[in-house]
Amino acid sequence: MASIKLRNITKTFGGPNIISDLSLDIDDREFVVFVGPSGCGKSTLLRIIAGLEPVTEGDVFIGDQRVNSLPAARRNIAMVFQDYALYPHMTVYGNMAFALELRGMSKVEIDTRVRRAATMLDIEPYLDRRPKALSGGQRQRVAMGRAIVRDPQVFLFDEPLSNLDARLRGQVRAEIKALSQQLKTTMIFVTHDQVEAMTMADRIVVLHAGVIQQYDTPEQVYEHPANQFVAGFIGSPTMNFLPIRLQGDEIVLTGDGRALPLTDDRRGRLQNAGGEATLGVRPEHILLCDPREGIAASIKLVEPLGSDTMVHFDLAGTPAIARVDPAIKPKVGETIALRMAPSRVHMFDVKTGQVLT
């Protein structure tokens, strides 16, 4: 059990920086998820913490120990790989016992630990099988078991769910979360799936181009995205972005000059930003309303999901989506009236993408 501190990490493979001057504190027993699009540096960052990749510059601390020159073997961490990386020539038992064996643990102690982990993960019946004879989900559990028996300071997960089918993924996701509450060990989980990030994390690190965009709880990241990238990355379907500007005393859509009813403090912020901004509003925060007070839009596409219905339309020349009650039964071609929940809209700087405060 340990906290992790990253100080001014820079990583390059000779070309452009994969990670640029990144600092991060992860508390003891915290479950942190690194999320971002592919190529954002999240896996590299995890491998740096694991000791599989040296840093170009900066320091890594696990506990209070600086581990820059400590090889992976001596960092007391456990890692679950995307392809599980089970040893094909060893049984499930052998896979789980291997690391303990290397540490010179007694046979009795190894046996106790392996069986305890196997019980926890429900894989006792397979202990004598080889990885080849297991299903994808079972392999995934063995990979977790191999990490659990170690009783490490830190658990690292490198997209461990991406090779599972959708149904199994939801189930294992819940299991990992339950496990993390049971084990009370520091865990870092890398994923490109924002749903996994939202559902599992104590705190989320949103990464883009090797730079931390936001580091906060799932609620904060969702409710108060720090910039347009985070706002667009977290949430599905993605947030709607509309150009707006200040016209006299009114905030209007840049596309067609229609006025938006927003609170007064927004006007001040927009003023400070030079009168122009990008408005961000999630599909669930676009509400249907009385045609007399709303903005009219014509429906272009309807996607019924069962629990909700997604309605696609153009707003001042920009495509947008609203999440509506399926009972409304919207149809393509119909005109609807919309308004935005005033407290749930975000404004971002046109140039920097930073949220306007």
Which residues lie near another protein (CB under 8 A)? 50-52, 54-57, 68-69, 71-74, 77-79, 81-83, 85-89, 98-99, 102-103, 146, 150
Burial class (CB in 10 A: 0-12, 13-18, 19+), 91: middle
CA 146/CA 41 separation, integer angstroms:
26
Record the tokens describing residue 85, joined without a space.
Answer: 């990386």
CB of 69 to another protein, least distance (A): 6
Sheet of 203-208, strand order: 77-80, 154-158, 186-191, 31-35, 203-208, 211-216
CB of 178 to another protein, least distance (A): 23
CA 36/CA 24 separation, integer angstroms:
16
Nearest to 96 by CA among 72, 120, 75, 117: 117
Chain CA centroid to CA 217, Å: 11
Burial class (CB in 10 A: 0-12, 13-18, 19+), 126: buried
CB of 349 to another protein, least distance (A): 32
- Of 51 and 210, which has the nearer Cβ to another protein? 51
| Type of residue at 350 | V
Record the tokens describing residue 290, joined without a space.
Answer: 């009385």
CB of 15 to another protein, least distance (A): 17
CB of 76 to another protein, least distance (A): 9
- Of 83 and 122, which has the nearer Cβ to another protein? 83
- Of 67 and 262, which has the nearer Cβ to another protein? 67
- Of 158 and 216, which has the nearer Cβ to another protein? 158
CB of 297 to another protein, least distance (A): 49
CA 204/CA 69 separation, integer angstroms:
27
- Of 74 and 351, which has the nearer Cβ to another protein? 74
- Of 150 and 285, which has the nearer Cβ to another protein? 150
